[in-house]
Homo-oligomer: A and B are copies of this chain.
Amino acid sequence: MTEALTIRLDDRDNVAVARVDILPGTEIGGGVKAAHHIPAGHKIALSAIADGAAVRKYDQIIGFAEGAIRPGDHVHTHNCVFAMFDRDYAVGQDVKPVDYVPEAERATFDGYRRANGRAATRNYIGILTSVNCSATVARYVAEQFRHPDMLAEYPNIDGVVALTHGTGCGMASTGEGMRMLSRTFAGYARHPNFAGLLFIGLGCEAAQLGMMMDVEGLKPGPLLHMFTIQDSGGTTATVRKGVELVKEMLPHANAFRREPIPASELILGLECGGSDAYSGISANPALGAAADLLVRHGGTACLGETPEIYGAEHLLTRRAVSPEVADKLIARIRWWEDYVAKNDGSMDNNPSPGNKEGGLTTILEKSLGAAAKGGTTNLADVYAYGERIASKGFVFMDTPGYDPVSVTGFVAGGANVVCFTTGRGSVFGCKPVPSIKLATNSAMYGRMSDDMDVNCGLVIDGEKSVAEMGEEIFRKILATASGEPTCSERLGFGDDEFLPWQIGAVM
């Protein structure tokens, strides 16, 4: 009887998704009656689709009708098939002018302006390590500033955080793995959310700090110190040295004040983790709507998780602003095929039996659900893992789907806010950057309310449209960037979630 039984993700779609189990004969609006039982999360035809015609969801082709489909029919693997049109990259075919918000109406947030002009959303002092061997020492330095008394005189500082990791030695000291690691370190070292930084090594590791600083063009100074345990005389002396250096940086870091900064200086990382059947119809498209808004306000939104858009890369090449940008994406796809093959794995993510049960018919539909986070605007550029994100608009970074590794890449690239959609329930945080958690369904939101910032399950419940949800997320992004703590920040997450992508043999 009511529209609330289904969700049509775009006005041009010829299928809608059932929010709940729909019984045969039920009218779903517009005079369409369910011809069969349509399970929750599955698709129903809104109009007649001729044999061989395109089935559209997310305003995208997800497959082609096999036999005539009537209004009200269940649309799934029995009458909708994948065809090879996907091999046509059709570069730039879907590029359209960005509908920018007039300058005078553009949003701002209250952030920190750093000396080099970059905009920060948080104000931390960071302690990084070159190798696992210096992790404990780095943590000990940070722990000296955990007690509230230690930072009582410095109310503008969000904290002193040690971001440690398990690699940096037992690996080739040259080559792709080391370049990626070095780029990731440098991206964090330069991140505007750090007012000051220590870089602590052991001394004999493969990831030599001096070499990394040289290669990445980082210069030591009063707010960037680099030293090793072996040079400093062991654990106790190194911790003492680190604590003294942090103390010297505190007054400087505390001197920063929030000021209005255009939303165009936000770089939003788009992540999903612990996805479920609702991810692609509630939180992901809602986040896509928010990403579109941010782009219309002149900002940047970065999609990633290459294995999760695999098979639908041609839908991004169609949005690519130039053949060079499309080629960069295609090159990363080819790299992944090689990477996974030589590790005896497979990129073959054709919908699994579980996916199909949930209503996903083709690999396109599956990847579209993940890519929905990226909205609908033009693909402005493609970045390597951890590479500095320099362009405005919608961009792509080559990251794995694994949440902490993917987000570490975004943050290394300069993301200053992250949105994370989750269906099963993730508890992710990523200091020094706030991570806003978007629940795909109300049941999980209720069960894990401490951990969830926004309930996109309202889209499934029929209480909000995707566009309304997108606006709410956009407002949440601005508030968060202005200092409102996210759930994961209130809970203290982010010290254990720095996880650089590690490729190559551990030796």
> Which residues of A pack against B, CB within 8 Å?
132-137, 139-140, 164-166, 169-172, 175-176, 202-204, 229-230, 233-237, 273-274, 307, 339-340, 342-345, 400-405, 424-429, 447-451, 491-497, 499, 501-507
Contact = CB atoms under 8 A, between A and B. Distances in A.
Contacts of A503: 343, 506
A339 B234 contact: no
Given A135-B496, A170-B401, A175-B345, 20 more contacts: A132-B497, A133-B403, A136-B429, A136-B491, A136-B492, A136-B497, A170-B400, A172-B345, A175-B344, A176-B344, A234-B448, A234-B450, A236-B491, A343-B503, A345-B504, A400-B506, A400-B507, A402-B507, A502-B502, A503-B506
Contact of A447 (B234, B492, B504, B505): B234
A504 B451 contact: no
A346 B422 CA distance: 41
Contacts of A229: 425, 427
B202 A427 contact: yes
Contacts of A403: 133, 169-170
How many copies of this chain? 2
B170 A234 contact: no
A507 B230 contact: no
Contacts of A448: 230, 233-235
Contacts of A135: 496-497
A340 B502 CA distance: 15
A310 B494 CA distance: 40
Contact of A449 (B234, B343, B502): B234
Given A136-B495, A344-B504, A274 B236 contact: no
A505 B344 CA distance: 8
Residue among A176, A451, A492 having the largest count of chain B Cβ atoms under 10 Å = A451
B447 A233 contact: yes
A344 B273 CA distance: 31
A421 to B, nearest CB: 13
A506 B233 contact: no
A235 B136 contact: no
A337 to B, nearest CB: 11
A264 to B, nearest CB: 32
A189 to B, nearest CB: 20
A236 B491 CA distance: 8
B427 A137 contact: yes
A339 B450 CA distance: 44
A293 to B, nearest CB: 29
Contacts of A273: 133
